[in-house]
């Protein structure tokens, strides 16, 4: 089968969506039954973003896919064509723009409200990365359950327990600097626990910073260095206010780090009983969770490694190929 894939997110982000897309491309390249035809447009500047979303996705991408005679078109985010020729599969990572619109720039929330429901409605199949996101699709956008397939994310092989570990007494956080990541409360919690907070991630939006008063922002780092930080951390903390999955949770577990994350929603689902769960709105509870995770380090390390082994990208892509066949 000829599979068209929108690779535009690779020009915009190195976060979870990009990890998903890189793994998808890598594993599909190893499968003889799938010939990948990549489609992409522009970079990460404002002008390129507007052109891509207003012109290329509704008109340019479906035209290019038809000319390339692909059997199915996979859009790896909820940006894509508004029609179904060729048949489209869309992956939805979360519905944060609907649940927490105040956390996004004005254009993103406007685009989401006006365009995304129609684009998802036009897709033959919708991949949700968690059961939580599947429920959100049904509840928020009214997507029929029979069109949704749940295919959870996995973790790259670079993240493993053996290898060098960073030094110091610190809590690690990973994610783009944006309001949902809850970094202000996490910084306060780390100070209460008497630990430095180190933050890895790209600069984002919403005026969120991560420096000063016991907090150190390290920016974007290569996976080798990120794995070293996971291994050396007293714990990895991910008290996000809303997620559709949370790949860093699995990465931390795969590296043997004890994990603290938000109770409820997708983060609890991904943790699978192998993390300390906290109320993300309560810095004191997050601090207690950090202290508990450090005290239970050996137990949580064992549970986390077992949890991380349950997922691999080969299985993810096998399930995704079956979704392509259904859409065709």
- Structural domains present in the chain: 2-154+312-327 (3.40.50.2000), 170-308 (3.40.50.2000)
The rounded mean pLDDT for the chain is 92
Residue 126 has pLDDT above 90, yes or no: yes
Instruction: Please answer whether residues 65 and 56 qualify as being in contact, where contact means their C-beta atoms are separated by less than 8 angstroms.
Output: no
How high is the pLDDT of residue 56?
87
For the chain, helix (H) and strand (E) counts, in that order, are 14, 12
How high is the pLDDT of residue 84?
67
Identify the DSSP state of 40.
-
Mean pLDDT of 316-326: 95
Q: How many CA atoms lie within 13 A of 288 on its CB side?
A: 8
How high is the pLDDT of residue 13?
64
Which residues on neighbouring strands pair with residue 184, listed in sequence order?
none
Mean pLDDT of 15-19: 80
How high is the pLDDT of residue 85?
84
Spatial distance between the Cα atoms of 308 and 252, rounded to a whole number of angstroms: 9
Mean pLDDT of 18-29: 92
DSSP run (H or E) holding 321? helix 313-327
Lowest mean pLDDT segment, chosen from 24-38, 76-90, 127-141, 224-238: 76-90
CB atoms within 10 A of CB 50: 13
**With pLDDT > 90 as the criterion, what percentage of the chain qualifies?**
71
Which residues on neighbouring strands pair with residue 260, listed in sequence order?
237, 276
Spatial distance between the Cα atoms of 185 and 267, rounded to a whole number of angstroms: 17
**With pLDDT > 70 as the criterion, what percentage of the chain qualifies?**
98
């Amino acid at each position: 089968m000829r599979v068209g894939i929108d690779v535009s997110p690779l020009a915009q982000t190195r976060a979870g969506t990009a990890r998903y897309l890189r793994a998808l491309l890598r594993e599909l390249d190893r499968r003889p039954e799938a010939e990948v035809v990549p489609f992409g447009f522009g970079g990460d500047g404002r002008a390129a973003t507007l052109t891509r979303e207003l012109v290329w996705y509704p008109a340019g991408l479906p035209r290019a896919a038809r000319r390339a005679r692909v059997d199915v078109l996979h859009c790896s985010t909820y940006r894509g064509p508004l029609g179904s020729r060729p048949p489209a599969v869309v992956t939805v990572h979360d519905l944060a723009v609907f649940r927490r619109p105040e956390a996004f720039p004005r254009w993103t929330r406007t685009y989401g409200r006006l365009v995304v429901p129609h684009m998802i409605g036009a897709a033959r199949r919708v991949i949700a990365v968690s059961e939580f996101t599947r429920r959100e699709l049904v509840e928020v956008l009214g997507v029929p359950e029979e069109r949704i397939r749940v295919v959870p994310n996995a973790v790259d092989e670079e993240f493993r327990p053996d290898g060098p570990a960073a030094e110091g007494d610190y809590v690690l956080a990973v994610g783009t600097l944006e309001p949902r990541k809850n970094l202000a409360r996490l910084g306060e919690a780390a100070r209460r626990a008497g630990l430095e907070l180190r933050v890895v991630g790209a600069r984002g939006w919403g005026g969120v910073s991560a420096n000063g008063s016991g907090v150190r922002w390290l920016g974007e780092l290569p996976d080798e260095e990120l794995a070293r930080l996971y291994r050396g951390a007293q714990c990895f903390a991910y008290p996000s206010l809303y997620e559709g999955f949370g790949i860093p949770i699995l990465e931390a577990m795969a590296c043997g780090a004890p994990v603290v994350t938000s109770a409820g929603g997708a983060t609890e689902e991904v943790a699978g009983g192998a993390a300390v769960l906290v109320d993300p709105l309560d810095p004191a509870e997050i601090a207690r969770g950090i202290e508990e995770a450090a005290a239970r380090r050996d137990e949580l390390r064992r549970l986390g490694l077992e949890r991380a082994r349950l997922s691999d990208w080969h299985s993810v892509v096998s399930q995704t190929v079956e979704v392509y066949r259904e859409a065709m």
